[in-house]
């Protein structure tokens, strides 16, 4: 089913819709955070910088861009090809991994905890960013059309951004004054805050655990894409063989 042009067109429209909903969810929460900062006299530039320092926000923003990108590619070029371009396939594997990890981490470790994003979460926006979006990107791994087989070295591209983000977060954390509590530090997630009970050993353990999860999910995304591509190629070969007249095949 996922190889048909009809399905590819339908899923492309769904991808565009998901990109739009994600942008709306990010915009709504950002607007509320800025409005709350202005109302309470907090530092607005710091509030905005903090907002875009959340892995969730960056992952969702990247996912929206890639989903829109691949939809535009399909509408203008993809209907005449059998697989997405390599660079687009890598980008899609990356954001799929990040969004799945966002869903897992939030719903196992952070649900019910108010994060320091500058205001109370907007319920519908929160669910889009932490649940609906991750589920959609997981479904996209299984249902997205024209998926390309990626080499295993693509995993390096998948893990590059999380590594950079963790380094950025841990360097920036003690340099920022929390605009809400006035603490002389700010970390987007409690498990990355070395000032919490457990200190640095706890932070290191969480980082190692989440890094292992990112590698595992990324490996699954790449493996499944390779499996789907191999299955599609075998199906195409079988179809071509079946279309050859028996008299020709016997010669």
> Which ranges of 52-132 does DSSP label H, i.e. alpha helix?
55-76, 86-105, 123-127
CA atoms of 160 and 163, how far apart (whole Å): 5
Report whether 109 contacts 176 (CB < 8 A): no
Report whether 213 contacts 219 (CB < 8 A): no
User: What's the number of CA atoms in the CB half-sphere (13 Å) around residue 98?
Assistant: 27
Task: Give 41-86 pLDDT, tens digit per residue.
Answer: 999 999 999 999 999 999 999 999 999 999 999 988 877 777 789 9
CA atoms of 227 and 30, how far apart (whole Å): 39
Task: Give 172-196 pLDDT, tens digit per residue.
Answer: 999 999 998 899 999 999 999 999 9
Q: What is the pLDDT of residue 246?
A: 53
CA triplet 150, 151, 152: central angle to 5 degrees? 115
Cβ atoms within 10 Å of 148's Cβ, excluding its own = 19
Task: Give 102-146 pLDDT, tens digit per residue.
Answer: 999 999 989 888 787 777 889 999 999 999 999 999 999 999 988
154-172 and 55-76 helices cross at what angle (nearest 10)? 150
CA atoms of 134 and 123, how far apart (whole Å): 16
Q: What is the pLDDT of residue 150?
A: 94
């Amino acid at each position: 089913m996922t190889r048909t042009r009809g399905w590819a067109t339908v899923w492309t429209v769904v991808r565009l819709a998901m990109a739009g909903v994600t942008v709306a969810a990010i915009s709504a929460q950002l607007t509320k955070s800025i409005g709350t900062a202005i109302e309470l006299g907090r530092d607005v530039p710091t509030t905005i910088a903090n907002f875009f320092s959340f892995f969730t926000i960056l992952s969702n923003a990247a996912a929206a861009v890639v989903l829109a990108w691949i939809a535009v590619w399909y509408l203008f070029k993809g209907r005449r090809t059998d697989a997405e371009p390599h660079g687009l396939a890598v980008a899609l594997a990356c954001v799929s991994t990040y969004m799945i990890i966002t869903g897992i981490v939030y719903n196992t470790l952070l649900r019910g905890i108010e994060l320091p994003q500058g205001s109370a979460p907007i319920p519908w926006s929160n669910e889009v960013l932490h649940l609906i979006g991750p589920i959609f990107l997981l479904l996209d791994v299984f249902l997205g059309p024209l998926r390309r087989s990626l080499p295993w070295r693509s995993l390096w591209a998948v893990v590059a951004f999380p590594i950079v983000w963790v380094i950025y977060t841990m360097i920036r954390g003690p340099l920022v004054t929390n605009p809400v509590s006035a603490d002389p530090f700010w970390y987007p997630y409690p498990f990355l805050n070395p000032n919490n009970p457990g200190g640095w050993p706890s932070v290191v353990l969480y980082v190692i655990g989440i890094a292992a999860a990112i590698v595992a999910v990324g490996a699954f995304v790449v493996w499944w894409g390779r499996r789907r591509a191999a299955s599609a190629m075998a199906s195409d070969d079988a179809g071509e063989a079946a279309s050859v007249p028996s008299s020709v095949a016997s010669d």
